[in-house]
Chain A
């Protein structure tokens, strides 16, 4: 059974940093692209970052230069380093497994809440 379990969320002050983790199990982690998607309370889904099997990374303009996605295949783990956090980054952050060509997200974790506030 595919499982994705996020951790590392919490309360952080504006300008601060936080590192999220996602523990994967039930599949060959190194063979899949992985993503982070966030959702502010009462709002829609927003794609945050992606990392390919070769370690190539992708970001939307809203987080580029502030967030860094990485993976550690030996530990079946995905990470998101978030720096220079703003109030607008407050959201539940989901880890998601992705299929490539066709492109879609087939499994999601339950999410971890990040709150940016003073």
Chain B
């Protein structure tokens, strides 16, 4: 099972919007609506931000949103804030297995 492909880095100024892509195949991202996104600050455990493509857990700000088209899922952060600077990973369920994305470092300029 190959890792899902994400851009290595994305940057934006405070208040701007950025989008992180997550590309897989028809066997994972494209085949199931089970894409989730995780935020990880340095030295910390990952934190769930989005599940089932576009659902936000309670407590996650509504500036975080998710979507999917074909084999590519996306995470959009609107109104970028300094505390959003972190690594972000997508993940997909696929036939009793799980696969993560390569990870994207978000920098707030």
A interface vs B, CB < 8 Å? 35, 37, 44-47, 50, 58, 60-61, 94, 99, 102-111
CA distance A99 to B38 in the complex (A): 14
Interface residue total, chain B, C-beta cutoff 8 A? 27
| Residue numbers in A under 8 Å from B33 (CB-CB) | 102
Known: A44-B103, A60-B1, A109-B45. A104 touches B97 (CB 8 A): no
| Residue numbers in A under 8 Å from B1 (CB-CB) | 60-61
**A106 close to B57 (CB less than 8 A):** yes
Known: A44-B100, A47-B98, A103-B98. A108 touches B45 (CB 8 A): yes
| Residue numbers in B under 8 Å from A107 (CB-CB) | 48
Q: Which of B71-94 contact A (CB under 8 A)?
A: 89, 91, 93
Residue of B nearest to A95 (CB): B45
Top 3 closest A-B pairs, CB basis? A103-B93, A104-B36, A102-B52
CA distance A78 to B87 in the complex (A): 27
Residue of A nearest to B32 (CB): A103
**A94 close to B34 (CB less than 8 A):** no
**B100 close to A105 (CB less than 8 A):** no
Shortest distance between the CB of B28 and any CB in chain A (Å): 11
**A105 close to B45 (CB less than 8 A):** no
CA distance A107 to B102 in the complex (A): 20
Say if the beta carbon of B41 comes within 8 Å of chain A: no
Excluding A44-B3, A47-B91, 18 further A-B contacts by CB distance (< 8 Å) are A44-B89, A46-B100, A47-B98, A47-B100, A58-B96, A58-B97, A60-B97, A94-B46, A99-B51, A102-B51, A102-B52, A102-B93, A104-B51, A104-B93, A105-B36, A105-B91, A106-B48, A108-B45
